Structure 1
Amino acid sequence: MTPRSVRPARRMRERFRLGGVSPAALGVVVLWVSVLVALPIAALVATSLTGGPRGFLAAVSRPSALNTLVLTLALAAGVSLLNAVAGTVIAWVLVRDDFRGKQVIDALIDLPFALPTIVASIVLLSLYGPESPIGVHLSGTRAGVVLALAFVTLPFVVRAVQPVMRELDTDAEEAAASLGAPGWTIFRQIVWPVLLPAVASGTGLSFARAIGEFGSVVLIGGNLPGRTQIASQYIQQLIEVGDPASAAAVSVVLLVVSFVVLTTLRGVSSRMQQREEAS
């Protein structure tokens, strides 16, 4: 017969094997993720295969689909790289510098998270449309699409880099500066290796958001096939003409690309963090 004093210890060991998570909590997580993520994705894949593998390949290999996918991925990649640079600089200024209005700018960074994206498109069209009060006309241009995508994706890099910069120890930077190292060398050799995993993670999230964005570009972009029509608008067009299978097929391609990019960047970020901690 097991002594009473041993039973709590055994229960604690069993919970430790589960990582300190009770089976009930784990079940809730699995159920919630299945309902919100797994089942919708499974339904999307099933819809995309309504016409079989040949129908799927035919849908994603149409010239219109290929042109839209290439344009979407190219614009998303460009915006992500732009955010990687601008977001890192903004995070640096917000953490390292003190200036009047800093809290206002810090709050404005999160505005795209709270603002409906269609409102962003209206604002951009009012500012850069045919009746632009500043004389800059970007409506129906790729530059306008890039601006809209940059607006909604900028916070990802800034918010990923800021916490890392706050925890960054400045002793090594000060020591290097006292030895005469120039500022760029200090940043490249000491600061950048620490920031790189966060920058990569934020860039990946920015890319994933950009390839699926719709609301912010719906007005400023103009939805011009081959010029400014991105994948989300093409998918809407397929649904409107009664071709949900093709719309689902293009959506699956975007989903796979996002998953591969995010998984790759997170893996790279994890390895870089481990290497940095080991050193």
Structure 2
Amino acid sequence: MSAAGRRSALPGFGLTMGLTLTWLSLLILIPLAGLFVKTAELSLSQFIDTVTSNRTLHALQISFGLAFAAALVNLVAGLLIVWALVRYRFPGRRIFDAIVDIPFALPTAVAGIALTTLFAQQGWLGAPLAALGIKVAFTPLGIFVAMIFIGIPFVVRTVQPVLIDLDVELEEAAACLGASRWQIITRVIIPSLTPAILTGFALAFARAVGEYGSVIFIAGNLPNVSEIAPLLIVIRLSEFRYADATAIAVVMLVASFLIIFLLNRLQRWAQIRALSVG
């Protein structure tokens, strides 16, 4: 029987697909297309001048560079947290498990104010760091700290269920066959967690790139120093330079899509490799 003649296993597939595409278009595709339409009001030279100005390039570098670095830190810290929460039993474990979700529920403005108060030069952590010559609040380092704070739950909550489902007997079997701890980690545990790790990294990175509320309070927002790209977009909107704002937004959109697409391809490759090895 041909593919066209087969009955779908899902009843109402055509209607479901139609509704899915409709909602996808209304909520995502059409608004994103509006960015490109508005940006088209600029000539090619105007677009290039807008997105290659020193202020724009520095803001993009701050947003993407620090977001990538923060996602890497969250990746390492998140794996350690997940391992402790899943593989060990200790007093207060459920409380610590709940604390991980605080950045999810906390309003971004509240997070920004809390971090700024904590890391200000007179703050609990800012004062001892200032004594060492390290200034966090109102610097790019403050942006980095804020991005780590809001991104850590994405890694933990993505990897945690996979590690819970990972059979401990596989590790015990590897140990019985003479594998060292390092070999068990690199050849048994990490390959099984790699798709979830890449997903958590991508989510943490995407959240950090687009973060606004918690960052602007601690950033200082100085042009060419500690100004993030989302803030620059808001500034251009307040100046009624809508096409310039959408031009910066289009660059962020395209760059974010390419990075996340690459991470998704790596995740898919890791899944196929894990299945073939298994």
Provide TM-score, normalisation by structure 1.
Answer: 0.90
Q: Distance in 2 between matches of 1:202 and 1:34?
A: 26
Q: Give the match for residue 258 of structure 1.
A: 256
Give the drift of 1:180: 4.3
Q: Summarize the alignment of residues 181-196 of structure 1 with structure 2, pairs less than 5 Å apart.
A: 181-196=179-194
| Correspondence 1:40 to 2:28 | no
Moved more, 256-265 or 172-181: 172-181
| Correspondence 1:90 to 2:81 | yes
Q: Give the match for residue 132 of structure 2.
A: none
Runs of 4+ in 1 over 4 A off after TM superposition: none
Q: Distance in 2 between matches of 1:242 and 1:141?
A: 28
Q: Name the SS for the 1:216 alignment partner.
A: helix
Q: Give the match for residue 68 of structure 2.
A: 77
Q: Give the match for residue 237 of structure 2.
A: 239
Task: Give yes or no for contact 1:117–1:215 (8 Å, CA) kept in 2.
Answer: yes
Number of residue pairs the alignment of both structures matches: 268
Q: Distance in 1 between matches of 2:13 and 2:176?
A: 52
Structure 1 166/12 Cα, relative in aligned 2: closer, same or farther at 3 Å?
A: farther
- Identity within the alignment, %: 37
Q: Name the SS for the 1:223 alignment partner.
A: coil
Q: Distance in 1 between matches of 2:173 and 2:189?
A: 13
Q: Give the match for residue 153 of structure 1.
A: 151
Give the drift of 1:179: 4.1
Q: Summarize the alignment of residues 167-206 of structure 1 with structure 2, pairs less than 5 Å apart.
A: 167-206=165-204
Q: Summarize the alignment of residues 1-279 of structure 1 with structure 2, pairs less than 5 Å apart.
A: 13-16=6-9, 21-134=12-125, 135=127, 136=129, 137-279=135-277
Q: Name the SS for the 1:133 alignment partner.
A: coil
Give the drift of 1:208: 1.2
Runs of 5+ consecutive residues of structure 1 not aligned to the other structure: 1-10
> Cα RMSD (Å) of the superposition?
1.9
Q: Name the SS for the 1:220 alignment partner.
A: helix
* Letter matched to residue 104 of structure 1: I
Residues 24-49 of structure 1: per-residue CA shift (max 9 Å, x gap) = 22222111111110011011111122
Give the drift of 1:243: 1.1
Q: Distance in 1 between matches of 2:39 and 2:105?
A: 32
Structure 1 217/56 Cα, relative in aligned 2: closer, same or farther at 3 Å?
A: same
Q: Distance in 1 between matches of 2:183 and 2:274?
A: 18
Residues 39-97 of structure 1: per-residue CA shift (max 9 Å, x gap) = 11011111122113332222101111111111221101100111111111111111111
Q: Distance in 1 between matches of 2:188 and 2:12?
A: 38
Runs of 5+ consecutive residues of structure 2 not aligned to the other structure: 130-134
Structure 1 59/21 Cα, relative in aligned 2: closer, same or farther at 3 Å?
A: farther
Give the drift of 1:182: 2.8
